[in-house]
Structure 1
C-alpha cells in the first residue's frame, strides 16, 4: 500500500468505446469512486478511445483487486447505458509499472496526459476531454 503504479488496460479487441463521450465519462466516474472509497489516489489518467493509462497510488487492497473492481464496475455501468447486459468490455489483465522513489511523478503525469497529443487525436492536450492530473 502507498505504492504508485502506472496502469495500462485495453478494451476488448481494442474497440473504441470511449469515443462515445458519455461512456467515457461513466468510466471516469468509476475511477473517481475508487478514490472516494479510499482504495486509490489517482495522480493522473487519460482515457483514450480504446485504452486507459492510470497513474495511481494504491491505498487499500491489492493492485489486482483495484483494477478488477474498476474494470468490472465500469463495464457493468457502460453495459447499462448501452443496453447490452453481460457484454465484456475490457481485455483480461493489465500492464503495470511500479514507480520508484526516484521517479519524477510530475513528468510521468505529463507523459500520461499527453497521450492524445502523441496519438495525433488533438493538437493540444486542452482539446481532449478525458484526462486529469493532480499536478502538471
Structure 2
C-alpha cells in the first residue's frame, strides 16, 4: 500500500514522519547511534528482512540521515554512518525512550537505563523550557503558522 506523502503539509511532525515514518527507520537510527555501521550488523540486531533493511537504508541515505562510507577497517565493505542531520534525531529517540520506559513496561520489569557516560549516573528526563527558563507542559504551549517569507 502506497503511503500518502506529507511533503506539502505545514506541520513539522507530519513532515518528519514522512521521512522517518516507520519503526524500522527509527530502530536503524537507534542502532547507528549505538555504533552499528554495517548492513549485517543492522540485520542481526533487528532481525528485519534483508529487502526491507535495504529499502530503509536507501531511504535514510536519500534523506541525508545516514551516509555511506568505505569500511573503516579497509575492507571492501561499506558502512552507514549518521550525518549531522541524523545525529539531531538523538533527542527524539531519547523522548521516545523515556515515554516507553514510563508507559510500556510493568512495574519492576527490566528495561535499559540511559547513563551519563562520564559520570555513570542516570540522565535526567528531557524538559521543555520557555525562553525565560520556565518548565512548559502541553497547556503552556500553542502552535501558530509562520507567515511566508518574502
Q: Same fold (TM over 0.5)?
A: no
User: Which structure carries more strand by proportion?
Assistant: 1
Which entry has the higher C-alpha Rg, 1 or 2? 2
Please, what TM-score do these two structures have when normalized by structure 2?
Answer: 0.27
